[in-house]
Amino acid sequence: MLPRLPHCRVPVKLELSFSTLNFRQSASMTRKTIFKTAMWAWDKGLTPGSVVRFVGPFGPRMINGYVTNRFQHHGQPLTDAEATMMKRYMYQILAADGSGEYALRHLLGNHILYTAL
């Protein structure tokens, strides 16, 4: 038998049920986590173009998903030909070597992003 130390605490078993979680709180925490991750990436100099270049052959799939979700569900949907052209255009722009995208972080600065919220 081990002696009990006064400063040790007994672990408490915490049981959570998904039915008792508040959806608004979990959505808010998800938004905060996404924002903090985006700010960390921005501070480190990560850009959308660098992400597309980093994922290599999966870049067109990422752009496909973005264009489909963004331009088919918000506003007037694009035709198939317009969507195909937009996907090709965005991939070519983002997959090309970066130039002005690296200066953008320094030109805008973090204070603009923080005050926008």
What is the dihedral sign for C-alpha 88, 90, 38, 69?
negative
Q: Do 68 and 31 reside in the same domain of the chain?
A: no
Is 62 contained in some domain? yes
Q: Decide if 82 is inside a domain.
A: yes
- Do 39 and 70 have their domain in common? no
Q: What is the number of domains present in the chain?
A: 2
Contact 95, 53 (CB under 8 A): yes
Query: What is the tens place of the pLDDT at every residue in 41-95?
Result: 878 888 888 889 999 899 999 999 988 888 877 778 888 899 999 999 999 998 9
Containing domain of residue 41, as a range? 24-46+105-117
What sign has the CA pseudo-torsion 11, 26, 52, 106? negative
- Domain identity same for 92 and 70: yes
* Whether residues 71 and 41 fall in one domain: no
* Assigned domain for 110 exists: yes
8 A C-beta contact, residue 63 and residue 48: no
Q: Is 24 helix (H, G, I), strand (E, B) or coil?
A: helix
